[in-house]
Amino acid sequence: MSSQTRKRRVVRMDRVLVDSLDADRRRALADQLFTIFSETVHGWSRGDFDKNVFAPRTRLALCYGEDHTLAGFVYAHAERLARGRYACGVPRRGALSPRLPGRSLGRSFWSR
């Protein structure tokens, strides 16, 4: 099977806390992620995207393909929704480039 017809896959995942990014890194990452996101999701403006994906206390999982390029992401907010003494995180969504089928993003994000 040639390298062009072989299925590519996610081979690495890095986790990032949005609050830990400086302004330049945040802007560069937002540009990359919005490009991937807009390949599969429609109806979100760049402002909506930035407001949701780069909100305070957001955790990102960045997915990289075999060629070490950014291929997708998952994000979740660490919001406190408390009832009594219980609290939970609120999972959100992500996007994986349609050019790079891979393993389940959600399972990979939450299992580590």
Separation of alpha carbons 43 and 112, rounded Å: 31
The pLDDT value recorded for residue 92 is: 57
The reported pLDDT for the residue numbered 33 is 94
pLDDT tens, position by position, 35-92: 988 888 888 899 999 988 998 888 899 989 888 889 889 888 765 555 655 555 555 5
Q: What is the pLDDT of residue 45?
A: 92
Helices marked H in the chain: 23-40, 46-53, 105-110
User: How far is it between the farthest Cα atoms of the chain?
Assistant: 57
Residue 3 has pLDDT above 60, yes or no: no
Compute how many other C-beta atoms are within 10 angstroms of the C-beta atom of residue 50. 16
